[in-house]
C-alpha cells in the first residue's frame, strides 16, 4: 500500500514554487520594483553583501572610482565611466590582476563584460555604485563613488601593450601594463581619458 | 522528480535492496539540492522579485515567513519525538500524527516564497560565511525535504532512515533561520 500524502505535499510545494517563479518571470521585464521591494532592497544593501535593486538613474556622463572589498588578493582599484547608456570600466590591483570592461548603463544598472568570462554588474544608489566584478578567475564586491577630474580612468596603448591607470580623488594612482609590467607614472596630459563610450575591451 | 520512483513491492524486500532503495531516494534529494544550487549560482540574480504585501519590506516578509516555519519546525521535532516514544506522553493523543503532518506541510509551504525570492533575486552566493552557509542550507533543506517525502511514501525502508532525514531537514531549516531570519531581526531591528 502506498502512502500518497507525502507525494501530494511534494507536488504542492513544487507547484507553489513554480507558480511564484513564473509570476516573477512574467513580472520581470522592465517592471519597476514595487515600493516595498525597493525599501527591502535598500535595507539589505546597507548591511549585507546581497546585490539588490535601489537604482538611481545614471547622469549623462560621469566617472566613479573605488576599491574592491575582501582580502584575497589585496584590494584592487576600480574605475567606472558612464556616457549615455554606455559604460567602460577597469579593475587593477597594480601587481598582477587587471581587466577592462565595456557594457551598458541603463536605469541605474551596470552590465559590463570583459575578456573571457569576466564581468561587472552594479547598481547606482545616489552617488555610489555597489556591485560585483570578476577578474582573473575571482569575484569581488566593490564600491565606487562619483569622482571629479583629474580622478578617473586613463589608458595608453603602444608597443603591443595597453596600460591602464585609475586615479582616485585623493591622488592615489593604481596602474598596470597588460603584459604585467609595472605602469609608468600617470601623465594625465598624454594618457587617454577613458569615457563611457571608449572601446576598451580588445 | 516524484514520478521517477518504481512502485513499492508488496513482498518484504531483502536488506540490500532496502538500502539500495534508500540510497536512490537520497540520490534524488541530492540531485534536487544540486540543481537548486546550480540554478542559483549560474543564472544572473535579478536583484528584485515580486513581493508579498503586509510587511514593512520584502526583507521582513521573508524573515517572518522563515520565523513561522522555524516555530512550526519546533512543533515538528516535538511531535516526532512523541511519535517515536522519545518523549513519553501518557495516553498519546491520536491527533499527534495529524499535527505533525500538517505543521510540516504549512512550514514547508511558508518557506517556498522565501526560497523563490532568494533563488530568483539573489542566487547562490559565497561572499561571506553567513551568506555561503545560508545558500548551502537552502539547497540542503529542499533536497532533504524531497528525500523525506519519498521515504515516507515507501514501506520497508530501514527504521532509522526517517528520523535521520527528518533531522537533516530540521537542522537545515534552523540553520536557514539563524543565518537570515534571526540575523535580520538582530542587525536591522525587530519589527513587522
What does the pLDDT look like over B110-137, one tens digit per residue?
A: 898 888 888 877 788 777 788 888 889 9
Calculate how close chain A gets to B90, using CA atoms only, in Å.
28
* Residues in a beta bridge with A80: A64, A89
Contact A9 B57 (CB under 8 A): no
Cα(B127)–Cα(B137) distance, integer angstroms: 15
**Other C-beta atoms within 10 Å of A128: how many?**
16
CA separation, residue B108 to residues A14, A44, A134, B70, B139 (Å): 11, 24, 35, 10, 13
The reply to whether residue A36 touches residue B44, judged by beta carbons under 8 angstroms, is no
Q: What span, in angstroms and rounded, lies between the C-alpha atoms of B138 and A99? A: 33
Question: Which DSSP string do the residues of B126-146 spell out, in sequence order?
Answer: -SSHHHHHHHHHHHHHHHHHH
Q: Select from B4, B59, B76, B126 the residue whose CB has the most chain A CBs within 10 Å, as the one to mutate to test that interface.
A: B59
Chain-chain contact of A40 with B153 (C-beta, under 8 angstroms): no
Instruction: Tell me the C-alpha to C-alpha distance, in Å, between residue A201 and each of A115, A119, A155.
Output: 7, 11, 12
Measure in Å the smallest separation between the Cα of A165 and chain B Cα atoms: 27
E strand or H helix at B113: helix B96-117
Query: What pLDDT is attached to residue A38?
Result: 39
Say if the Cβ atoms of B127 and A9 lie within 8 Å: no
Can you tell me whether residue A121 is helix, strand or coil? strand
Q: Nearest by CB to B149, from A7, A53, A70: name it.
A: A7
The closest of B144, B23, B135 to B76, measured between CA atoms, is B144
Cβ–Cβ gap B48/A52 under 8 Å: yes
* Length in residues, chain B: 192
Could you tell me the three cell numbers for A77?
A: 582599484
pLDDT at position B55 is 62
Using an 8 Å CB-CB cutoff, list chain A residues near B127. 49, 70, 139, 141
pLDDT for B48 equals 60
User: What is the torsional sign of CA B82, B83, B86, B90?
Assistant: positive
CA A66 from centroid of its chain's CA atoms: 11
Q: Report the gap between the CA of B114 and the closest CA in chain A (Å).
A: 10
Residue B139 has pLDDT above 50, yes or no: yes
> Which cell numbers in the block locate residue A124?
547606482
pLDDT at residue B57 in the model: 67
Supply the mean pLDDT for chain B: 82
Residue A108 touches chain B, beta carbons under 8 Å: no
For the stretch A164-200, pLDDT in tens is 999 998 888 999 988 888 888 888 888 888 988 888 8
Nearest residue of A to residue B4 by CA position?
A7
Q: How far apart are CA A31 and CA B42, in angstroms?
A: 23
From the list B57, B153, B155, the residue facing A43 with the nearest CB is B57
Cβ contact, residue pair B59, A44, below 8 Å: yes
For residue B23, the distance in angstroms to the closest alpha carbon of chain A comes to 18
Among partner residues B120, B149, B154, which is closest to A24 by beta-carbon distance?
B120
Q: What are phi and psi of B51, to 5 degrees?
A: -115, 165
More confident residue, A149 or A2: A149
Whole-number Å distance between alpha carbons of A49 and B126:
10
Q: What local confidence, expressed as pLDDT, does residue B5 receive? A: 45
Q: How many other C-beta atoms lie within 10 A of the C-beta of residue B5?
A: 16
Q: What is the pLDDT of residues B158-182, one digit of tens each?
A: 888 889 999 999 999 999 988 888 8
Contact (Cβ atoms closer than 8 angstroms) between residue B179 and residue B133: yes
Work out the percent of chain A whose per-residue pLDDT is above 70: 82
- Judge contact between B180 and B66, C-beta under 8 A: yes
The minimum CA-CA distance between B172 and chain A, rounded to whole Å, is 17
Sequence ranges of the domains in chain B: 23-187
- Residue A192: all three cell numbers together: 587617454
Task: Pick the range with the lowest mean pLDDT from A69-73, A184-188, B9-13, B88-92.
Answer: B9-13
Are the C-beta atoms of B170 and B69 separated by less than 8 Å?
no
Distance CA A8, CA B108 (A): 13
CA distance A151 to B189: 39
Q: What is the rounded CA–CA span in Å between residue B52 and residue B60?
A: 10
| Cα gap A86→B119, rounded to integer Å | 29
Q: Distance (Å) from the C-alpha of residue A49 to the closest C-alpha of chain B?
A: 7
Query: Do residue B48 and residue A27 have CB atoms under 8 angstroms apart?
Result: no
pLDDT band at A44 (very low <50, low <70, confident <90, very high): very low
- The distance of B125 to chain A (nearest Cα, Å) reads 8
Of A138 and A38, the structure prediction assigns the larger pLDDT to A138
Return the number of CB contacts < 8 Å for A and B. Answer: 119
Average pLDDT over residues B5-17: 54
Cβ separation A3–B152 shorter than 8 A? yes
- Contacts of residue A113 in chain B, CB cutoff 8 Å? none
In this complex, do B58 and A41 lie within 8 Å of one another by their Cβ atoms? yes
Give the mean pLDDT of B15-39.
Answer: 86
Cell numbers placing B90 = 501518557
- Going by pLDDT thresholds of 50, 70 and 90, the confidence category of residue A76 is confident
Distance CA A190, CA A195 (A): 15
Say how far apart CA B72 and CA B100 lie, in whole Å.
9
Contacts of B60 in chain A (CB under 8 A): 40
Amino acid at each position: 500500500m502506498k502512502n500518497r500524502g507525502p507525494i501530494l505535499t511534494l507536488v504542492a510545494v513544487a507547484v507553489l514554487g513554480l507558480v511564484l517563479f513564473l509570476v516573477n518571470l512574467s513580472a520581470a521585464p522592465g517592471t519597476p520594483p514595487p515600493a516595498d521591494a525597493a525599501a527591502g532592497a535598500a535595507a539589505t544593501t546597507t548591511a549585507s553583501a546581497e546585490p539588490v535593486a535601489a537604482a538611481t538613474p545614471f547622469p549623462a556622463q560621469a566617472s566613479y572610482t573605488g576599491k574592491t572589498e575582501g582580502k584575497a588578493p589585496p584590494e584592487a582599484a576600480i574605475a567606472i565611466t558612464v556616457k549615455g547608456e554606455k559604460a567602460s570600466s577597469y579593475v587593477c590591483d597594480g601587481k598582477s590582476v587587471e581587466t577592462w570592461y565595456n557594457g551598458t548603463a541603463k536605469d541605474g544598472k551596470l552590465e559590463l563584460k570583459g575578456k573571457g568570462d569576466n564581468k561587472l554588474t552594479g547598481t547606482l544608489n545616489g552617488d555610489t555604485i555597489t556591485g560585483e566584478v570578476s577578474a582573473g578567475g575571482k569575484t569581488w564586491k566593490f564600491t565606487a563613488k562619483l569622482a571629479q577630474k583629474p580622478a578617473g580612468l586613463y589608458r595608453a596603448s603602444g608597443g603591443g601593450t595597453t596600460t591602464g591607470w585609475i586615479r582616485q580623488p585623493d591622488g592615489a594612482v593604481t596602474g598596470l601594463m597588460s603584459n604585467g609590467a609595472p605602469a609608468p607614472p600617470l601623465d594625465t596630459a598624454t594618457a587617454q581619458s577613458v569615457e563611457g563610450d571608449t572601446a576598451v575591451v580588445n | 522528480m516524484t514520478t521517477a520512483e518504481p512502485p513499492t513491492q508488496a513482498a518484504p524486500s531483502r536488506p540490500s535492496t532496502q538500502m539500495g532503495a534508500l540510497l536512490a531516494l537520497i540520490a534524488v534529494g541530492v540531485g534536487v539540492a544540486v540543481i537548486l544550487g546550480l540554478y542559483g549560482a549560474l543564472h544572473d540574480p535579478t536583484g528584485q522579485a515580486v513581493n508579498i504585501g503586509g510587511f514593512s519590506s520584502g526583507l521582513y516578509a521573508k524573515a517572518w515567513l522563515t520565523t513561522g516555519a522555524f516555530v512550526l519546525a519546533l512543533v515538528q521535532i516535538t511531535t516526532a519525538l512523541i511519535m517515536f516514544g522519545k518523549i513519553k506522553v501518557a495516553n498519546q493523543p491520536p491527533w499527534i500524527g495529524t499535527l505533525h503532518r500538517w505543521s510540516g506541510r504549512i512550514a514547508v509551504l511558508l518557506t517556498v516564497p522565501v526560497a523563490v525570492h532568494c533563488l530568483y533575486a539573489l542566487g547562490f552566493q559565497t561572499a561571506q560565511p553567513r551568506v555561503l552557509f545560508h545558500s548551502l542550507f537552502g539547497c540542503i533543506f529542499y533536497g532533504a525535504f524531497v528525500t523525506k517525502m519519498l521515504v515516507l511514501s515507501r514501506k520497508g525502508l530501514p527504521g532509522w532512515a526517517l528520523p535521520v532525514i527528518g533531522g537533516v531537514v530540521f537542522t537545515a531549516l534552523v540553520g536557514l533561520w539563524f543565518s537570515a531570519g534571526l540575523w535580520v531581526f538582530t542587525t536591522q531591528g525587530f519589527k513587522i
